[in-house]
Amino acid sequence: MNPYQGQPRYLHNIGFNNAAPQSFGNPMPMPGLPTMGYPAPQPGYPNTGSGYPQAGGYPNQGQQVYPQTPSSYPSQGYPNTAQSYSPAQGYPSAQSGYPQSQSAYPQSHSAYPQTQSAYPQTQSAYPQTQSAYPQSQSHQSPAGYPQQGHQSNQYQGYPPTRQTHQAYSTSSPVHSVPKSKPTVVPVNPFDPREDAAVLRKAMKGFGTDEKAIIQVLTRRSNEQRLRIAFEFKTLYGKDLISDLKSETSGKFEDLIVALMTPLPQFYAKELHDATAGIGTDEDVLIEVMCTMSNHEIIVIKQAYTAIYGTLLEDDLRGDTSGNFKRLMTSLSMGNRSEDFHVDQGRAREDARSLLQAGELRLGTDESVFNAVLCSRSFPQLAAIFQEYQFLTGHDIDDAIKSEFSGDLEKALRAIVKVVRNKPLFFAERLHKSMKGLGTNDRQLIRIMVTRCEVDLGDIADMFQSKYGESLQSWIEGDCSGHYKKCLLGLLGLY
């Protein structure tokens, strides 16, 4: 069974990463809607002062807001005939028909009862308003609706109420989503001056206490390490990174320097080294550009320009070619939709467009794949891939393998994998870095350092699940010395 097929996992960690390290400037993780990277609330949604959207806000303008569907809305048989709705009038307007109360609606931001997926399915009685109503905050049924325990076949227009645990859900049901598991979290209480003194003592005099260095640096977040470096220079008038480099060597030194580098600058350096000189490391470009959120890409671009004086987009275009260059350019814009809700009808249209641009024609229209995979939100892409499976009977990953080749194929497949299961994507990258003779230490260090504050615990679980061996055992078998101990420290095992 393909582990990438089925319902997407870790949707909270896709698109906009609400648990991104603090070095990216994100606020502390908060429940509900993140505070940056999303468009302002549009009219018709809660907290905007209007209960229902105007008639013009629906997809089919000029039609009645609540379509007449006698087959789905029975004209009689409601529990209280005095409160039933006349089929000749449809639903009453927002100004009348509901019992008066403080908020006009009983303890809910929406007049509709909460459903399993928050957005009615396409088979429901609201075919033209499936994405117009956000999720209800209460599972209490408004007056005039049948209660859940009295539901019968004649009330097919009203799905049973059910409390959900998602702030924003998709049109297709998505079951409980586990939280990501970082292996490095900010220590609390935190005393940067005390940590600076510990590091100073570890490097002072003859010899070096590598154990003390590892235990301090692998148990602090990236932001806390930078504060320790600031206090170190304040107290002792010396640069902490320079001292660490003089006391360490080899891959251990590379790992320590990576830990002490702000994440945006670290990503910028990785991208610059991948394009500088002779040849291009396309794997690095794919790994970074296909997995970052809009906010992260923008911050990385700013760091890149500040360090190297050039635009990341220009360097990517100058070092790549063909359709792969166009894909990298689109991703470098950082303009992917980051909407949480899914438009099932649009997903079906996009799936047909991908089918017509690929398998149903001679040759391939790469621009259609580029436009869809670089602009749609990750939850929307998951729905598109599902619709593609319904239309063709096979997975879109198989279609990409048959229609594309080379770096473009790897990049498009990477996007599909990240949409469905980001931790599994990085688990495969870690396995590849240590498989066979030799070790791709740069790739190993990059993933361990950048994911330890996000989802390295999930990545380790996926590694164990797919390969039947623990990530710890592979690191112990492929690395040695203080380098191995420091990697295990990032896993929380040293």
Same domain, yes or no: 202 and 150: no
Residues 158 and 229 both lie in one domain: no
Is the same domain home to 207 and 281?
yes
Angle between helices 344-357 and 366-375 (to 10 degrees): 150
CB 15 within 8 A of CB 379: yes
Q: Biggest alpha carbon distance in the chain? A: 92
- The confidence score (pLDDT) of residue 436 equals 87
Average pLDDT of adjacent 10-residue blocks, the chain of 494 residues: 61 40 51 44 45 43 44 44 43 44 42 42 41 41 41 38 36 52 95 97 91 96 97 97 96 97 97 91 96 96 97 95 96 94 96 94 93 96 97 95 95 97 97 93 97 96 97 96 97 91
381 lies in the same domain as 423: yes
Decide if 471 contacts 463 (C-beta within 8 A): yes
In a domain, residue 36? The reply is no
Domain count, the chain: 2
Q: Does any domain span residue 47? A: no
Distance CA 414, CA 64 (A): 44
Task: Tell me whether residue 33 is in a domain.
Answer: no
**Is 416:410 a contact under the CB 8 Å cutoff?**
no
Neighbours of 479 (CB within 10 A): 21
pTM: 0.68
By C-alpha distance, which of 152, 177, 155 is closest to 164? 177
Query: Does 423 sit behind a cis peptide bond, omega within 30 degrees of 0 on the bond before it?
Result: no
Domain membership of residue 284 (yes or no) is yes
Assigned domain for 287 exists:
yes
Shared-domain flag, residues 137 and 218:
no
Best CA proximity match to 232, nearest among 265, 185, 197? 197
SS3 for 96? Answer: coil
The pLDDT value recorded for residue 7 is 59
Alpha helices in 180-262 (DSSP H): 192-203, 210-217, 222-236, 240-247, 250-259
In this prediction, residue 149 carries a pLDDT of: 41
Q: Are residues 322 and 450 in the same domain?
A: yes
For residues 297 and 319, state if they share a domain.
yes
Domain boundary among 176, 209, 241: 176
Q: What is the pLDDT of residue 479?
A: 95
Q: Where among 147, 176, 205 does a domain terminate?
A: 176
- Kindly state whether residues 406 and 451 are assigned to the same domain: yes
Shared-domain flag, residues 184 and 171: no
- Asked if 210 and 337 sit in the same domain, the reply is yes
**Is residue 115 in a domain?**
yes
d(CA 60, CA 161): 27
C-beta neighbour count of 129 within 10 angstroms:
20
**Residue 123 structural domain:** 83-176
Tell me, yes or no, whether 271 and 384 share the same domain.
yes
Answer with the one of 176, 202, 222 that is the final residue of a domain: 176
Asked, for residue 449, whether it belongs to a domain, the answer is yes
Give the Cα separation of 188 and 371 in Å (integer): 45
For 427, counting Cβ atoms within 10 Å of its Cβ (0-12 exposed, 13-18 middle, 19+ buried), the class is buried
Whether residue 394 is contained in a domain is answered as yes
Q: Residues 324, 282: contact at Cβ < 8 Å?
A: yes
Report CA-CA distances (Å) from 487 to 183, 338, 474, 491: 11, 33, 11, 7
Asked whether residue 110 falls in the same domain as residue 162, the answer is: yes
- Other CB atoms within a 10 A radius of the CB of residue 227 amount to 16
